[in-house]
Structure 1
Amino acid sequence: MSIGREQWVRTADALLGAAWRHASPDRAFLDLPGRPSHSGVRSDGLEGYARTFLAAAFRTAHGDDPHNWLERYAAGLVAGTSGRWPAIFDVGQPMVESASVALGLRLTKPWLWDRLSCQEQDRAEAWLREALRHVPAANNWYFFPYTVASFLEAAGRGDDETRQAKQRAMELLQGWYAGDGWYSDGDGRAFDHYNGWALHLYPALDAHLGGEPITTRLREHLESFSLLFGADGAPLYLGRSLTYRFAAATAVALGAVTGETPLSPGHSRVLIGRTLEYFLDRGALTGGLLSLGWHGPHEASLQPYSGPASPYWASKAFVCLLAGPDHPLWTAQEEDDDSDRTLALPGPGFLIQRHNGVTRLHNHGSDHVRPFEGEYATDDDPLYSRFAYSTATGPTARHNVADNHLALVHRGDRSVRRRIHPLGARDNWAASWHRPVFDADQVMVPGLRVESVTAVWDDQELRIHRVIGAPPGTRAELTGWATDLPSSLVAVCGWTGEDRRTAPQGTAFSPVVHVPVLTADVEGTVTLAAVAVLNGEVAEADWQARVDEILKITLDACDKG
């Protein structure tokens, strides 16, 4: 049986109860325990208030508030906007939290905002409006002032400034659209969970609350995104801010609430419920609080901006509670679809492979390289640069052996994969190319290029890499899945050595993992191929014939492009 609405309500109440044990006397801050973020403790306390307020707002949006959550948040709002909260500034964390405060106020307007005095409303507006007057980060952050503007308009306080903030965000969003329902998180090619819990959420929810058409391609996004969950409810481990955990189910819930979804209500309920249970059953709570990590605490899942209350963006999944008790999301018959699927997405450059309850994503298009950073910086981002991710494995940490990676080693320097150039995706394959970037003084080798393609059959992954322009003395290393599950990486052509290395820092799924490695000396133009399997064995097949077939379809055609 899937989780019903009452269980979602009880979970929200439990999370709120645990968090409020850490409230400041004036209720303006929720100072949760844990490592501080780089924004400082006052900002972290505001984050605790704002992100839990969002959960409380979804929980009470129908006027049901038996625990008087909104009375507490009203008191905190009055104190915070009377000078206690840090001011909103350019590219600052308070701007992020202003969106949660504004959305919470919009959802609970009859029971909180409308009961404030005119002076209290004016002070709150003055604090919020600074989000419209300062510069956001050049990505999903533009939807923080957008959400503030949406609330001010709903409260009868709209003007040219609010209209411009909303128009600016929507114009940028259309420029970030790549196809297949996927947006890049800002300029460049960064495709991750921010699609669901930000880029689709804020404008689609604004339109839904305002009774307007939804124009964010949410339905098309869910055609593929709904596959990125394991049969156990685990979301795909890809991209930053993964400590938000079950916020990954937000887009599925939002689709059910708004009707902009290809999924049946019963299927949506199963998906979001499994994801919530997945984390609650695997140690996500410490003392009733969401910890900084994935299952339990996990440092490698975090970013410098992650503070003690950061995990409470998970509150966004409680958007499902906007569906009342009689909504089909809760009353329709359960539907489960864990069937095997393969889906190519040329827009983001993804190949989705779902088999035996585990989803794998083969990455030939998402790299998180910003245009102003340049292609040849030597930083390796494990959360974006790997060739494959899954719902059952996490990438290895930055200073461990890299999983699902092709590295070239030249003069002692090891290459990383930075800017990814998609070449196409169709049927059961996806392809890309990149220029290997080396650390130390050897930033790049002129003319050196790697063309790559992944083709899948059932649970088998054929990985082909054509190295072009390799100088003498170059060694190639290919790695497979980092997991304690049975996995294989078997040479098909070009590889001459094999090894198995330990990643002592493990992954979010396992404390210590072993990574299979294939090696070969390369010079000039060389084609290398291997078959990888996660949680299984390589099937007997004429893999060399399949290499020839895939090269004919994909990489050889790219020589003319």
Structure 2
Amino acid sequence: MPPEPLLRADAPPTPPGGWTREKWAGTADAMLRAVRPYASPGHARITLPGPAGGYGTEVDGLEGFARTFLLAGFRIAGERGADPDNLLEFYAEGIAAGTDPSSPERWVRLDEHGQAKVEAASLALALDLTRPWLWDRLDPAVQERFVDYLAPAVGDRTYPQTNWVWFRLVVQAFLRSVGGPWSAEDVAEDLATHDGFLRRDGWMADGHERSFDHYVGWALHVYPLLWSRMPGAAGFAEDRRVRDDALLDRYLLDAVHLVGADGSPLLQGRSLTYRFAAGAPFWAGVLAGVPSTPAGVLRRAASSVVRHFVDRDGFDERGLLSLGWHGRWPRLAQSYSGPGSPYWAVKGMLGLVLPADHPVWATGELPLPVERGDYLRAVEAPGWLVSGTAADGVVRIVNHGTDHALPGDTRGDSPLYARFGYSTATSPLLDRDSWVDPHDQAVVLVDAEGRASHRSGMALGPTEVLDVDGVTVGTASSSGAVRWLEPDDAQKHHGSGWEGRHHDAGTVAVHSLVRGPWEVRLVRVDEVSRDRPPVSLELSGWAVAGAEPETLATDPPCARGDGGAQSTLVVLLGETTDSGVSRHADASPLGPVAAVPWTRHPVLPGEWFAALLELTRDARPWSAEPEVRLSRGGTTSWVTTRWPDGAQTRTALS
């Protein structure tokens, strides 16, 4: 079957008012048609082309079925059962074959492989959404087999204490609604675990670590909303709904500020190959009717995210999603990723459950915050300063509180979590070398063998936005022990930092001042290892990528990538021994080569170094030379900054 034209990069431009519901529906239908040629004879497995995933082809086939079935569930529910593409028949046949223990297409069971627990939740959600048109019409023997397939979830104590608790909650809600086994004790336990993830302002950590990423939105806010509307959640959901909707409402106030004007989500956190799943929490806000963010803005955020990938070769010539970001880039995968894994992107199509007569489809799209003007926000739970600039549409975060670890941790830094900066225009370096030695958005001590230190486990200082004599400036800080890593040969590759032997390098404090496209980064080395003293202190900036990034200068170092993304690093305080632009092949999903400005300094414990980092797609001449001066007033240290636009601020170092 040929790919649908609307999934091609040369598709007609989006209407000025945004995607119509017909466009959303057509995109979903094309996605579902494109996977059908890869279904097994009985349709129970959809095994997409490409190398087998880390869990084997049987799991790959189940993923392909379950994740596309979830999209089919959205379509059928939103059409109130209308089904011109015979999705109901296709997936009903797959359910019959997948639950048949004697079938060669039988599904991997929940008590055979942990990944089946994940996919079971998508199966249950889709069947719940389409209950009158699919579940109620299944042969009773198939219904019984499906209940038996889900039943091992009850009483299972091996579910990870992360967003996975929602897979058991959803499955048990469905089982309860069809007269199957379920446990009130399990439900109460999982809800209590979820409540333990709650942090400030509607943010949640994905587990007990400082794990803040897209799972906050596409899992920890979306699943509670969908679960609360399942008949099997009755008696549990009612007392929680008002609170959960209020948490979603507050979270979305931050989340809409994390989408670039081009629709790009932040390139931060694991499972980035799920791509436009990042649009799911915005549709959740529409479904919940949140009061604080207009439905037109939420619709704009969701459509912008999906369009970002549709317009940038997110689908290949067959109309399939591959492991990657824009196009295929396998390095983005985690060890659990297979060829069907990217289809969790369908969560971003959640809005299709809203029928054509829902008011949101008559509501015009409203501009994103970054399309309306500049802003600076402090998001305290993950320790982020968020800066959006309307001139270039870029959103940046300066990160002092997220590392996918706990205070005092001694693992290596995950490039996906522990870098000092992430944006909608850049990606962290993700080649093997960058997991071992941080080379971008980092402050590192370097030993005589060239190893760069890691900072996971740091302590977070205050994260806030201040008005300094009419000038808005963001401040954040972190400090703690840093270490060199000798990684183990075998790693889990689940997104967290690498394990291995470590050697203390010293302690380092880092403070950030943020305005617009600029960060002033202040660094002080407090202690150094005596038996293995570092030979230098290095600062690195934003990694821009492209076919052949251009080095604009080496003193100060400056590089430009595709799309005009420009990264500059200017030393403002302290002695510099060297500077330049490093180049990294096949390290970024945004281009074949990435370029990173860097500077090198002597290690002088107790002395401050300062540099200005800029990321922009709207490079303009500076109207003033940036400058930093440090002073003391009583017991407080002060930093006076002259910014490139001439503005001046005087702020206290926490």
**TM above 0.5, one fold?**
yes
C-alpha distance in 2 between matches for 1:291 and 1:199:
25
C-alpha distance in 2 between matches for 1:29 and 1:214:
39
What's 1:189 paired with?
Answer: 210
**Which of 538, 549, 553 pairs up with 2:638?**
549
Q: How far is 1:542 from its partner?
A: 5.2
Q: How far is 1:37 from its partner?
A: 1.3
Using structure 2 for the length normalisation, give the TM-score. 0.81
**Which of 351, 364, 377 pairs up with 2:385?**
351
What's 1:451 paired with?
Answer: 509
Aligned 8 A contact 1:139 1:186 in 2: yes
Q: 1:518 aligned to 2:588? A: no
Aligned 8 A contact 1:455 1:550 in 2: no
Aligned 8 A contact 2:572 2:626 in 1: no
Deviations 1:313-347 (A, max 9, x none): 01111210122212222111331132211100122
User: Partner letter of residue 126 of structure 1?
Assistant: D
**Which of 339, 345, 350 pairs up with 1:308?**
339
C-alpha distance in 1 between matches for 2:41 and 2:603:
66
Deviations 1:199-245 (A, max 9, x none): 11111222245584243311111010111110010101000000000
C-alpha distance in 1 between matches for 2:227 and 2:571:
52
What's 1:173 paired with?
Answer: 194
Aligned 8 A contact 2:53 2:60 in 1: yes
C-alpha distance in 1 between matches for 2:201 and 2:511:
20
| Shift in CA distance, 453/132, structure 1 to aligned 2, threshold 3 Å | farther
Aligned 8 A contact 1:91 1:136 in 2: no
C-alpha distance in 2 between matches for 1:405 and 1:91:
38
C-alpha distance in 2 between matches for 1:31 and 1:442:
39
C-alpha distance in 1 between matches for 2:312 and 2:75:
24
User: Partner letter of residue 395 of structure 2?
Assistant: T
C-alpha distance in 2 between matches for 1:402 and 1:539:
30
| Shift in CA distance, 534/376, structure 1 to aligned 2, threshold 3 Å | same
Q: How far is 1:420 from its partner?
A: 3.2
Q: How far is 1:553 from its partner?
A: 5.3
What's 1:203 paired with?
Answer: 224
What's 2:579 paired with?
Answer: 498
Aligned 8 A contact 1:470 1:523 in 2: no
Aligned 8 A contact 1:98 1:148 in 2: yes
Using structure 1 for the length normalisation, give the TM-score. 0.93
C-alpha distance in 2 between matches for 1:64 and 1:308:
30
C-alpha distance in 1 between matches for 2:44 and 2:140:
19
Helix, strand or coil: the match of 1:455?
strand
Q: How far is 1:550 from its partner?
A: 4.8
C-alpha distance in 1 between matches for 2:350 and 2:187:
21
What's 2:274 paired with?
Answer: 244
Q: Which moved more, 1:25-34 or 1:321-330?
A: 321-330
User: Partner letter of residue 263 of structure 1?
Assistant: T
**Which of 448, 461, 469 pairs up with 1:411?**
448
Deviations 1:142-200 (A, max 9, x none): 111111012223334464x1x23322222111111121211111111000000111111
**Which of 468, 482, 486 pairs up with 2:566?**
486
Aligned 8 A contact 1:228 1:359 in 2: yes
C-alpha distance in 2 between matches for 1:465 and 1:256:
43
- Equivalences for residues 92-491 of structure 1 within 5 A: 92-134=114-156, 135-157=158-180, 159=182, 161=183, 163-209=184-230, 212=238, 213-216=241-244, 217-260=247-290, 262-286=292-316, 287-337=318-368, 338=371, 339-356=373-390, 357-369=393-405, 375-377=409-411, 379-397=412-430, 398-400=432-434, 402-412=439-449, 413-427=451-465, 428-440=474-486, 443-445=502-504, 448-471=506-529, 472-483=533-544, 484=561, 485-491=565-571
Aligned 8 A contact 1:291 1:311 in 2: yes
Q: How far is 1:539 from its partner?
A: 5.8
% identical equivalent positions: 38
Deviations 1:375-403 (A, max 9, x none): 213x3311111100000110112415621
**Which of 96, 107, 128 pairs up with 1:85?**
107
Helix, strand or coil: the match of 1:333?
coil
| Shift in CA distance, 293/205, structure 1 to aligned 2, threshold 3 Å | same
Aligned 8 A contact 1:266 1:330 in 2: no
C-alpha distance in 2 between matches for 1:495 and 1:145:
56
Aligned 8 A contact 1:488 1:534 in 2: yes
Aligned 8 A contact 1:469 1:523 in 2: no
What's 1:5 paired with?
Answer: 21
Q: How far is 1:249 from its partner?
A: 0.5
Q: How far is 1:495 from its partner?
A: 4.3
Helix, strand or coil: the match of 2:366?
coil
User: Partner letter of residue 132 of structure 2?
Assistant: P
Q: How far is 1:524 from its partner?
A: 2.2
Deviations 1:38-88 (A, max 9, x none): 111001100000000000000111212111101111111111111211111
Q: How far is 1:480 from its partner?
A: 0.4
Aligned 8 A contact 2:154 2:181 in 1: no
Aligned 8 A contact 1:204 1:215 in 2: no
Deviations 1:351-381 (A, max 9, x none): 111113110011111111268xx7213x331
Deviations 1:522-541 (A, max 9, x none): 13223121111112366625
RMSD: 2.1
What's 1:60 paired with?
Answer: 76
Helix, strand or coil: the match of 2:462?
strand
C-alpha distance in 1 between matches for 2:517 and 2:504:
36
Helix, strand or coil: the match of 2:126?
helix
C-alpha distance in 2 between matches for 1:296 and 1:420:
35
C-alpha distance in 1 between matches for 2:112 and 2:140:
28
Gaps spanning 5+ residues in structure 2: where?
1-15, 232-236, 466-473, 487-499, 545-560, 632-636, 641-649
Helix, strand or coil: the match of 1:431?
strand
Q: Which moved more, 1:400-409 or 1:12-21?
A: 400-409
C-alpha distance in 1 between matches for 2:284 and 2:366:
18
Q: How far is 1:418 from its partner?
A: 1.6
What's 2:494 paired with?
Answer: none
C-alpha distance in 1 between matches for 2:310 and 2:322:
11
C-alpha distance in 1 between matches for 2:359 and 2:176:
30
C-alpha distance in 1 between matches for 2:339 and 2:539:
37
Q: Which moved more, 1:281-290 or 1:81-90?
A: 81-90
**TM superposition outliers: structure 1 runs of 4+ over 6 Å:** none
Aligned 8 A contact 1:431 1:554 in 2: no
